[in-house]
Structure 1
């Protein structure tokens, strides 16, 4: 049954309960059309709820799950995933349900403290899982294309942790004029080279992930196109280029080792100060760097007291001693 007829059935069921007394408190109808969606180990449980089935009252939903082998326990240990939510879906991804496991899911509605019956669904992730599209990029090398594949992003794991034996189906074709589609099947490498292509031509590529235990095929990637180059370069050209590069690197290393002293002196030259700069930079305290100073010649100085009276000073002059120089004349 498609989604539209299921929705109509749920609507008719809700209206029937409403007009027959289900909305006035006598009975709460259970959720309808309980389904699961599984993409890249992301699990979502969803359901339908007929508008007006609860009248004007607010309705909430509770979702639980249990491994199927534990249903034999009395009572089973049901684990609540979403409690009293107003949404019409519940994300089960964070509970990391075992990919190869088998579970029983159930959901019920609650209106004003009154619960509906549980609506149940069996859930086998590995049977229902869809694998999302990978990301594909192309690198051109002459007339060859290198296909680089990146796995889809999983929320709590990696693709290879869940799909241990997954392989890639690679489809490619020449876009103009369009040639017959060519396929490379069951490739495990995430890098593949498409060779022997026509030069200066546009090729398009799509990739799909396949898992043997999953009956549902993976989604195809977006179509990616690139134009090939001219003729491939001769192998000896690449060898010569690699040899030249290696020789240049070795020569540079040898030159650095042999001439390191000269190079270091050139890059970091020694600074030699003139002598008068050195003298001016000596510290003021000679006790730190003792310097021998030349000996100095000192004359003896005698001090004679002046005994003249004040009257003598007023009369004349500087001295009352006879002038011996005139007497001798």
Structure 2
């Protein structure tokens, strides 16, 4: 009877193992190694390396569990199934993890129907083991001081000051190029810090790191930020004097512009007066001056001959003199021809009978018509009439 009970317990145990491990057969396939849970800024990622000496199409299944105070897992929850990646993010919204919880993960290797044993990670508590990222730092030069502005890193779950009650900052600053002379200011709780007692017109570099008592891992340091200081703050009375002088100058300019506005206007925009010989142009268009100008005749243009004399070589002067001589000879010949064309009418007076006087009068009329200069109005000299004696026949 005892033997039957023992056999029943063994069968039940084997069925339980078979159910938990699935319908696959556990073979000699090696599990991933090492398997570890990591956390950065409150995320939760399970990472592993592929098993050594295993080839083929390897797949992985990852699970996680919440750990109680007795370091026992409550129950495994599958997260990544049949994946070829070597990590599994457990901090997505479908995974119910908390910032103060402790978790453990495990991974097994799968190849076809083969399944390896589970490779399990160490426990991880988020608020104690997460790695806090670097803060963001900006500098502002204010005369002889530097204003350091610090921004906390972004957490995947919650925020820095919600998880940790009293985080502090360690600020380190030094002159540019002299990091061995760095000065540290620990346990700063404010996000805005003023660095004073600095040399003017000097470049300083600053780096900030977050410190939390509950976390065993040191946080990442911020990037190094550098800025140059300006001149030290002037005395208050100097600023007051400068403001007073400026306001006095402004008021004086306003008063002068109001009192002497006419003179200023005449100086900037002077009146333009036309010369006296242009005053008549200001007369209206219907004045008598323009009417007389409209009725007046256009004056006759007088043209005078112009002789252009050039200075050249002897040969050019000789040719020019020959041309002038030839032109004068042509003018003399033209004048001679004009004199030759002058007609002098001759009147012959005879004493005869009436029958003889009639033909003579007709001859004189014909002679006058043949003289072209008389017809054109030119002066033809008239010779004295020749009187014949009364006894002409």
TM-score, length basis structure 2: 0.50
The alignment yields a C-alpha RMSD, in angstroms, of 3.0
Higher strand share: 1
1:104 and 2:101 correspond: no
Which residue of structure 2 lines up, in the alignment, with residue 214 of structure 1?
Answer: 215
Alpha-carbon deviation of 1:118?
1.1
Alignment map for 1:96-135 (pairs within 5 Å): 97-121=97-121, 122-135=123-136
Q: What SS does the aligned partner of 2:68 have? A: helix
Give the structure 2 partner of residue 204 of structure 1: 205
**Do the aligned partners of 2:37 and 2:104 also contact (CA within 8 Å) in 1?**
no
Which range moved further: 61-70 or 82-91? 61-70
Q: After superposition, what is the alpha-carbon deviation per residue over 1:150-191, rounded to whole angstroms, capped at 9, x for unaligned?
A: 111223432222233211100011225667221111111100
Map of 1:137 onto structure 2: 138
Distance 2:71 2:211 in 1: 35
Q: Contact 1:138–1:148 (CA<8 Å) still a contact in 2? A: yes
How do residues 1-20 of structure 1 correspond to structure 2 at under 5 angstroms? Answer: none
Following TM superposition, by how much is the alpha carbon of 1:43 offset from its aligned partner in structure 2, in angstroms? 1.9
**Structure 2 CA distance for aligned equivalents of residues 72 and 201 of structure 1:** 56
Contact 2:30 2:51 in 1 (8 A): no
The 3 A distance-change label for structure 1 pair 175 and 79 is same
Does the CA contact (< 8 Å) of 2:31 and 2:51 recur in 1?
A: no
- Give the stretch that moved more between structures: 42-51 or 171-180: 171-180
TM-aligned CA distance change 1:231 to 1:110, over 3 Å: same
Paired position in structure 1 for 2:181: 180
Measured after TM superposition, the shift of residue 237 of structure 1 is 6.5
Which of 64, 76, 87 is residue 78 of structure 1 equivalent to? 76
Give 3-state SS (helix, strand or coil) of 1:204's partner.
strand
Higher relative contact order (CA 8 A, sep 6+): 1
Aligned residues of 2:99 and 2:157 also touching (Cα < 8 A)? no
Query: Distance in 2 between the 1:212 and 1:227 partners?
Result: 34
In structure 2, the partner of 1:158 is 159
- Asked if 1 retains the 8 angstrom alpha-carbon contact of 2:68 and 2:74, the reply is no
Greater Rg over alpha carbons, structure? 2
Whole-Å separation in 2 of the counterparts to 1:239 and 1:158: 46
**Greater percentage in helix:** 2
Cα pair 1:141 1:229 within 8 Å, conserved: yes
Q: Please, which runs of 5 or more residues in structure 2 have no aligned partner?
A: 1-25, 245-393
TM-score normalised to structure 1 length: 0.59
Query: Hey, what's the Cα distance between the residues in 2 that align with 1:128 and 1:183?
Result: 26
State the partner residue of 1:65: 64
Equivalent residues in 2 for 1:1-329 (5 A)?
26-50=27-51, 53=54, 55-56=55-56, 58-69=57-68, 76-94=74-92, 95=95, 97-121=97-121, 122-175=123-176, 180-235=181-236
Per-residue CA deviations over 1:208-261 (Å, capped at 9, x if unaligned) read 001101121111111111110012133457789999xxxxxxxxxxxxxxxxxx
Q: Is contact 2:65-2:74 (8 Å) kept?
A: yes
Q: Counterpart of 1:172 in 2: which secondary structure? A: strand
- List gaps (5 residues or longer) in structure 1: 1-24, 244-329
In structure 1, C-alpha distance between the alignment counterparts of 2:228 and 2:153, rounded to whole Å? 26
Q: Secondary structure at the match of 2:149?
A: strand
Cα distance in 2 for residues equivalent to 1:239 and 1:188: 36
Between 79-88 and 117-126, report the one with greater CA deviation. 117-126
Secondary structure, in 3 states, of the residue corresponding to 2:34? strand
- Contact kept in structure 2, 1:126 and 1:214, CA below 8 Å: yes
Question: 1:13-63 CA distances to partner (integer Å, 9 max, x unpaired)?
Answer: xxxxxxxxxxxx94221111112222111221111113651x43x222111
- Distance in 2 (alpha carbons) for counterparts of 1:242 and 1:129: 55
8 Å contact kept, 2:36–2:105: no
1:22 is aligned to none
Is the Cα contact below 8 Å between 1:70 and 1:77 reproduced in 2?
no
Kept after mapping to 2: 8 A contact 1:163/1:211:
yes
Separation in structure 2 between the aligned mates of residue 101 and residue 136 of structure 1, nearest angstrom: 31
CA contact (8 A) 2:37 2:105 kept: no
